[in-house]
Amino acid sequence: MDIAVVNAQREIKITKLFGEFGKRILAFVRSRIDDVDEAEDIAQDVWLQLSRQTDLDSIQHMPSWLFTTARNRVTDYYRKKRPVRMTIKGSNGEEGDEYNESEEYSFNLWAGSHLPDMALESKEFWEELNKALAALPEEQRDVFVAHELYGVPFNQMVEEWKVPLNTLLGRKRYAVEKLRKHFESYI
């Protein structure tokens, strides 16, 4: 077969895969990385790595390959980055407990360590997550979605929503607890 035809077929296949999985890969990465630009770069790296594969037909289960590659890129990102801790100021303005991305506040960390990768990458998981989110009180859902799915920093929410940081953290923690319970029974 002519090399030009092979390359054209390859480009068509990658374009089709991007149309099918592009948004899901980006959402997957964004759910793990707060920085929008970094998340977009990582998602783009997944597609770049796919385009460098010499034989796309040798990849037996493309969704698994894409999400595994995305997860590996996210892991690499965190290996290169030092963890940042944010100090919470109490209502009196004094520094209080340190907030870091522990399982208490992060559904992503909990899900990554308690749910199989295949479950996290499935359409059913995302449908179930949407159902579980719909069951949350609106204030908890809003904080969870803003922080976990869209990567909005808490300090930005405090400024824009005019809600104290501790209130937002509490709402997020309750949302995470409810989602964990939901998915423990889902497993």
**C-alpha span between 163 and 161 (Å, rounded):** 5
Supply the pLDDT for residue 140.
Answer: 92
User: Kind and range of the H or E element at 59?
Assistant: none
> Tell me, what's the pLDDT at 113?
59
**pLDDT score recorded for residue 1:** 65
pTM, two decimals, is 0.45
Helix then strand then coil, % of the chain, to nearest 5: 70, 5, 25
Question: pLDDT for 41-55, tens place per residue?
Answer: 999 999 988 888 878
3-state SS of 125-145? HHHHHHHHHHHCCHHHHHHHH
Mean pLDDT, 10 residues at a time, the chain of 187 residues: 80 89 91 88 90 82 88 78 40 39 58 58 71 91 84 87 91 90 78
In the block, tokens 């908890």 appear at 140
Check whether domain 3-80 has CATH 2.40.50, yes or no:
no
What is the distance between the alpha carbons of residues 21 and 41, in angstroms, rounded to a whole number?
Answer: 16
Amino acid 87: pLDDT: 37
Q: What is the CATH number assigned to the segment(s) 100-186?
A: 1.10.10
**Cβ contacts of residue 120 below 8 Å, gap of 6+?**
28, 67, 111, 112
**pLDDT score at 91:** 38
H or E element, residue 119: helix 117-120
Check: CB of residue 137 under 8 Å from CB of residue 167: no
Return the domain boundaries, the chain: 3-80, 100-186
pLDDT for 115 equals: 60
